[in-house]
């Protein structure tokens, strides 16, 4: 976990973002694909649900709102029912659509997807039907968008261009807006179309083409990192960019900056469910982070994570700051490697501070855990169930000898720490030298203190202290027939 990334997420604030591009609606028709039609050899979908989401540039706006940004959207809709629905959805999300102009000459852009479930199981997209007019917007519409967008720039922190090649992002419109933004010192980030001619993005701060798009724009095949760097440098120089950022699907993202930086940001493996919307999510988080003052490198790392979360969802879905934080704090939603779970007290306190900001409850217990047995495992599982994460205070070797005698511990500290940290129920292990864990308890201030039921609450070290600030003491079930001392004696006798 990167503390810098956690700090960035927690300090994103609410920047004002102007999104310019192709406003769309994504409509989903869900149902069960039960049989083949008797009329033709086609799958028959028995529809049972209909859903509407904002797509294209308005998807970027939606994602930014879910992430806490103040969003203004510029584009067009048609003078039709779908245009009215789009405006109402924008209003409901508190997205400023003053710069969304009604174009009487074209319909609103709608992508209608039919999603079928086979035998009531995982849904799969069967077909997509598009309603659109891809002609460039007229000069009059261009001037209207430009006028309102330039007015909105007076209070804008960053401009994002979401170009889906539906006619809005003409060279004339982008040239006017990029010039206006540069004059005000505002960054402009563009997610470009697939094509060979990228001159319309000249003067942007950065662009974020994917592997195929960057290859077409630079006349290269990006099948290795050498070709990626050559394409990125070509785009950065020809378009006068601060940075060319190429998204590389499962291979992460590549940054080529005008100051000479060239860095590959890998991403960890994900269970990819649907890649729809991943590019929009990358653009949203990248823009939000840059608007909040982050450097390109940190912003890209955060966008990488958010894009990974997006592909684990079906369709174009939003991701919240809380989801990103949880992913940062619990990579893969599995136990962290055991080497990362054994912490000294000071870094542990910092880690727990981040967890508390997420509203997580901290559980603490302690012991020698010399020879781990089934009773220990059951005890730790019960302790973990009392909150959101479990910290185990582990007696040092000297502390164990003081308590148990010179023949103990049987296992040295390194081995005991490794075994404990390998348990799924244990989130963190910290070592203490004293006879009791009182200092650790006073430092980390757990929400729940756990000890075995062979103690009374009055006998539990730290119980009164924990209860003094509203915490509680839990006495875990004592499982009969398990004893470290008896186990060691039996092993020696054998």
Helix (H, G, I), strand (E, B) or coil at 262: strand
Sign (positive or negative) of CA dihedral 138, 140, 143, 149: negative
Domain boundary among 307, 333, 359: 333
Half-sphere exposure of residue 241, counting CA atoms within 13 Å on the CB side?
29
- Residue 443 gets which letter from DSSP? H
The answer to whether residues 363 and 244 belong to one domain is no
Q: Give the pLDDT of residue 101.
A: 97
pLDDT of residue 337: 43
Catalytic (active site) residue 280: yes
Q: Do 418 and 488 sit in the same domain of this protein?
A: yes
306 shares its domain with 353: no
Same domain, residue pair 371 and 437: yes
Decide which of 316, 333, 350 is a domain's last residue.
Answer: 333
- Same domain (yes/no): 353, 271: no
For 334, other C-beta atoms within 10 Å of its C-beta total: 8
C-alpha span between 423 and 253 (Å, rounded):
34
DSSP-assigned states of every residue in 17-32: EEEEE-EEEEEEEEEE
CATH number at residue 47: 3.40.1190.20
**Is there a single domain that holds both residue 147 and residue 69?**
yes
Edge-to-edge strands, sheet with 389-395: 428-432, 389-395, 362-367, 448-452, 472-476
What gap in Å lies between CA 460 and CA 446, rounded to an integer?
14
Question: Is residue 75 a contact partner of residue 23, using CB atoms and an 8 Å limit?
Answer: yes
What region, left, alpha or beta, does residue 379 occupy, with left being phi > 0 and alpha being psi -120 to 50 degrees?
alpha
Among candidates 163, 172, 215, 216, which has minimal Cα distance to 190? 163
Is residue 95 exposed (0-12), middle (13-18) or buried (19+ Cβ within 10 Å)? buried
Q: Give the pLDDT score at 316.
A: 59
CA neighbor of 64 nearest in space, from 155, 159, 148: 159
Question: Based on the structure, what is the number of domains in the chain?
Answer: 2
How many other CB atoms are there within 10 angstroms of residue 409's CB atom? 22
Q: Which one is catalytic: 96, 163, 280, 397?
A: 280
Where a domain ends, among 333, 365, 390? 333
Residue 493: count other Cβ atoms within 10 Å of its Cβ: 6
pLDDT at 152: 96
Do residues 150 and 222 share a domain? yes
- Which residue range is the domain that position 439 belongs to? 338-493
The answer to whether residues 440 and 317 belong to one domain is: no
Mark whether 315 and 448 lie in a shared domain: no
Which residues of the chain fall below pLDDT 70? 1-2, 120-122, 268-277, 310-317, 329-340, 358, 479-494
């Amino acid at each position: 976990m990167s503390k810098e990334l956690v700090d960035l997420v927690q300090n994103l604030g609410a920047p004002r973002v102007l999104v310019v591009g192709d406003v769309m609606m994504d409509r989903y028709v869900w149902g069960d694909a039960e049989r083949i039609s008797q009329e033709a050899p086609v799958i028959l979908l028995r529809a049972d649900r209909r859903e509407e989401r904002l797509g294209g540039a308005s998807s970027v706006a939606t994602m930014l709102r879910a992430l806490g940004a103040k969003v203004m959207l510029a584009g067009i809709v048609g003078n039709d029912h779908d245009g009215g629905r789009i405006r109402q959805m924008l209003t409901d999300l508190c997205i400023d659509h003053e710069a969304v102009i009604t174009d009487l000459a074209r319909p609103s852009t709608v992508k209608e997807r039919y999603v079928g479930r086979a035998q009531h199981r995982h849904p799969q997209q069967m077909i997509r039907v598009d309603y659109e007019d891809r002609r460039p917007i007229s000069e009059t519409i261009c001037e209207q968008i430009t006028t309102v967008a330039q007015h909105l720039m007076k209070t804008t922190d960053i401009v994002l261009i979401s170009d889906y090649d539906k006619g809005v992002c003409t060279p004339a419109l982008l040239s006017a807006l990029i010039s206006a933004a540069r004059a005000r010192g505002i960054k402009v980030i563009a997610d470009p179309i697939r094509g060979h001619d990228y001159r319309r993005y000249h003067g942007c701060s950065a662009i974020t083409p994917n592997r195929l798009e960057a290859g077409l724009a630079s006349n290269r095949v990006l099948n290795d990192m050498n070709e990626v760097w050559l394409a990125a440098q070509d785009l950065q120089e020809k378009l006068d960019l601060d940075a060319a950022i190429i998204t590389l699907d499962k291979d992460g993202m590549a940054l080529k900056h005008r100051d000479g930086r060239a860095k590959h940001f890998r991403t960890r493996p994900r269970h990819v469910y649907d890649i729809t919307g991943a590019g929009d999510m990358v653009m949203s988080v990248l823009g939000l982070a840059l608007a909040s003052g982050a450097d390109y490198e940190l912003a890209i790392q955060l966008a990488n994570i958010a894009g990974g979360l997006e592909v684990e969802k079906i369709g174009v879905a939003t991701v919240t700051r809380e989801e990103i934080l949880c992913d940062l704090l619990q990579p893969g939603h599995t136990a962290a490697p055991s080497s990362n779970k054994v912490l000294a007290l000071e870094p542990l306190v910092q880690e727990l501070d981040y967890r508390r900001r997420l509203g997580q409850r901290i559980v603490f217990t302690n012991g020698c855990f010399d020879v781990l047995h089934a009773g220990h495992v059951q005890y730790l599982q019960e302790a973990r169930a009392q909150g959101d994460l479990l910290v185990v205070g582990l007696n040092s070797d000297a502390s164990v000898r003081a308590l148990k005698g010179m023949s103990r511990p049987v296992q040295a500290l390194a081995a005991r720490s490794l075994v404990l940290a390998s348990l799924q129920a244990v989130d963190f292990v910290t070592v203490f030298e004293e006879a009791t864990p009182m200092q650790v308890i006073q430092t980390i201030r757990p929400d729940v203190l756990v000890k075995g039921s062979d103690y009374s609450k009055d006998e539990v070290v730290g119980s009164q202290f924990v209860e003094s600030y509203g915490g509680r003491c839990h006495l875990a079930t004592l499982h009969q027939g398990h004893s470290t001392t008896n186990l060691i004696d039996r092993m020696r006798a054998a």
